[in-house]
Amino acid sequence: MNKNVILTCAVSGGHNNQGKHPDYPITPEHIARDCIDAGKAGAAIAHIHVRDPETGMRSGELALFREVVERIRDSGSDILINLTTSEGARFSPGEDNAAIGGPGTTLIQPLERLKHIEALLPDICTLDVGTFNFGETIFVNTPSHLRTMAKRIQELGVKPEIEVFEPGHIMFAKTLVNEGLIDGDPMFQLCLGIPHASPATAEILSVMKNLLPNNANWSAFGISRFEFNIVAMAASQGGNCRVGLEDNLYLNKGEFAGNLQLVERAVRIIREVGREPATAAETAERLGIDR
């Protein structure tokens, strides 16, 4: 077991739950500041979504991603930048014609989902390798779209973080690996507790971990009240961890958290199980990222 734990902070997310928190990161300045602070507190990776500063709604605008990335890079922070590619994957059947997207549909072509990756070349970007019911919409990632995205990410030299929400997603990810579309040791994120997907339990964590390739670097997170339980489970089983306001709004029941506080608590848990948070430099070396 590697002693050092790669800790990711998911600072904002793509859920439109900003109205539930009094100080949710919405503007590029706020998102970048939280990423920088998370790095100082022990996070090695910042997982980044962006939002429309006027409405607070999730966005895929390149200009917003660019501002966040440039602010982090200009600050001198060495935290690894992980940009989402999930925007443009939601489908909701129309009421009159189920074949036509209704409210909540954002579907775009796979390479359009990578425009900000091509422009900004982050250290890491997500690759969500499966379709499932995500709240009241369908999160759509078809095999052909995923192959197209994986190939382009590979050509760009960006490390894909393979996000899996169900055991079957791991099986398709292994297909991508076997087809040569994923370079080096694959990086997996086990996403647990999302409604209508895998629950955040010790049993499902064990099942999914045991399905991973032997050479995988793996991390796990649980949403809401399960966040710190999964930190402890993953860290104690040799895995890596993720926390952040994307996944959980509270430090304690009724007490709103900030990203910095969530990272600080995760670091304490990691140390309580006898491990240490990995630095950004150690993380880049382990993941095969040339900076």
pLDDT tens-place string over residues 60-89: 999 999 999 999 999 999 999 999 999 999
* Percent of the chain clearing pLDDT 90 (strictly above): 95
Do strands 132-134 and 137-139 pair parallel, antiparallel, or not at all (unpaired)? antiparallel
Question: Average pLDDT in the 31-47 region?
Answer: 98
- Locate 130 and state its tokens: 């499966």
Helical segments of the chain, H only:
28-41, 62-75, 115-120, 143-156, 167-178, 202-211, 227-236, 259-272, 280-287
Asked if 143 and 100 touch (Cβ cutoff 8 Å), the reply is no
| Confidence grade of residue 236 (pLDDT, cut at 50, 70, 90) | very high
Question: Average pLDDT in the 151-168 region?
Answer: 98
Q: How many helices (H) and strands (E) does the chain have?
A: 9, 17
pLDDT tens-digit profile of 179-190?
999 999 999 999
Please give the pLDDT value at position 291.
85
Please give the pLDDT value at position 1.
64
The least confident of 88-97, 206-215, 257-266 is 88-97
Please give the pLDDT value at position 3.
84
Judged against a pLDDT cut of 80, whether residue 220 lies above it is answered with: yes
* Percent of the chain clearing pLDDT 70 (strictly above): 100
**What mean pLDDT, rounded, does the chain reach?**
96
- Locate 104 and state its tokens: 């909540």
Per CATH, the homologous superfamily of domain 4-287 is Aldolase class I (3.20.20.70)
Judged against a pLDDT cut of 90, whether residue 212 lies above it is answered with: yes
Asked if 10 and 221 touch (Cβ cutoff 8 Å), the reply is yes
Please give the pLDDT value at position 19.
86
Asked if 46 and 81 touch (Cβ cutoff 8 Å), the reply is yes
Q: Which of 108, 56, 36, 89 is nearest to 280 (CA)?
A: 36
Find how far residue 144's CA is from the centre of its chain: 22
Distances (CA, A) of 225 to 35, 54, 249, 262: 22, 30, 9, 12
Alpha carbon distance 212, 209 (integer Å): 5
The length of the chain in residues reads 291
Judged against a pLDDT cut of 90, whether residue 17 lies above it is answered with: no
- Locate 288 and state its tokens: 């095969």
Question: Average pLDDT in the 167-185 region?
Answer: 97
Judged against a pLDDT cut of 80, whether residue 125 lies above it is answered with: yes
Largest CA distance in the chain: 57
- DSSP output for 73-112: HHHT--PEEEE---TT-EE-B-SS-TTSB-TT-----GGG
Provide the 8-state DSSP code for 101: B
Question: Average pLDDT in the 46-68 region?
Answer: 96
Strand partners, 47: 10, 82
